[in-house]
């Protein structure tokens, strides 16, 4: 299994545990709604949250910002070497990528502090439909 952890927080901690295994090419998106203080754990037996099982899969994690002007901090805590080319995007409510272009896990380690100047739903996209 491939494993990585992404932490996103401003006050409470939000952790995403991303696991993956390679098999056939599949193009699919899984969308998960997040709230601060909750954890998406790929080891949980309750569903596919946090699993990237096939090349071409994309996990999208959505969270709502109700107070614009805050800052969030993104950091990859634990990372499997096999995930080092996994692209990640942080999209604001208008679809602008706050990283400027798709980042890869290895290149960013810590995504750093990002301003969330707009109220609305933000998305973290992990993976690529290009297998």
Q: How many C-alpha atoms does 14 have within 13 Å on its Cβ side?
A: 18
Of 1-10, 55-64, 72-81, where does mean pLDDT reach its minimum? Answer: 1-10
Q: What is the mean pLDDT of the chain?
A: 63
Q: Assess contact for 19 and 43: CB atoms under 8 A.
A: yes
The predicted structure's pLDDT at residue 80? 56
Q: How many domains does the chain have?
A: 1
Strand 70-79, strand 2-9: pairing: antiparallel
pLDDT tens profile 28-41? 677 777 766 555 55
Which pLDDT belongs to residue 64? 85
| β-strands 103-104, 87-91 pairing | antiparallel
Flag whether pLDDT at 92 surpasses 80: yes
Residue 34: domain span? 2-127
Do 16 and 8 meet the contact criterion of CB atoms below 8 Å apart? yes
User: Given CA atoms 91, 45, 80, 1 in this order, what sign does their dihedral have?
Assistant: negative
How large a percentage of the chain has pLDDT more than 70? 39
Rounded CA-CA distance 131/127 in Å is 9
Pairing of strands 70-79, 57-65: unpaired
H/E element, 78: strand 70-79
Q: Which residue has the higher pLDDT, 93 or 33?
A: 93
Residue 29 Cα to chain centre, angstroms: 13
12 contacts 39 by C-beta, under 8 angstroms: no
């Amino acid at each position: 299994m491939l494993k990585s952890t992404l932490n996103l927080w401003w006050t409470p901690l939000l952790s995403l545990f991303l696991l993956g295994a390679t098999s056939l090419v599949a193009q699919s998106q899984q969308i998960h709604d997040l709230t601060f203080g909750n954890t998406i754990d790929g080891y949980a037996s309750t569903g596919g949250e946090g699993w990237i099982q096939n090349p071409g899969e994309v996990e999208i994690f959505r969270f709502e910002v109700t107070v614009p002007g805050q800052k969030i901090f993104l950091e990859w805590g634990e990372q499997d070497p096999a995930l080092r080319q996994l692209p990640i995007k942080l999209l604001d409510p208008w679809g602008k990528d706050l990283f400027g272009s798709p980042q890869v896990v290895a290149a960013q380690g810590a995504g750093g502090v990002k301003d969330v100047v707009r109220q609305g739903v933000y998305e973290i996209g992990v993976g690529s439909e290009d297998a």
